[in-house]
Chain A
Amino acid sequence: MPDANAVQWLQSLNALTGGLFLLVTFGLVSLRQIHGCLRLFVAQSILLATSAFLLGALYHTWHLTVVGVVDLVTKVVITPWVLRRLLHDEVQTRREITQVLNIPTALLLALALAITAYLLASPLVALGGGAAIGVNLPIGLAGLLIGGLTAAVRREAVPLFLGLLAMENSSFFAGIGVAPEMPLIAEVSIAFDVLILVFVVGLLTRAMHEHIGTTEVGALTALTEEQAP
Chain B
Amino acid sequence: MSIGPSEHPNRAPGKVFADGMVAALRSVFFYVLLGNYVGIGALAYEFGFSLGWMVLSTLLVWAAPAQVILISTLGTATLVEVALAVTLSSVRFLPMVAALVPMLRHEGGRQRDLLLPMHLTAISVWVEGMRLLPARPREQRVAFYNGLGVGLIMAAIIGSAIGFYLAARLPPLFAATLLFFTPLALLMSSARNSRTLLDGLAFGLGLVVGPIVAAQKIGLDLMWTGLIAGTIAYVVHRVREAKAKVTP
A and B associate in one complex: no
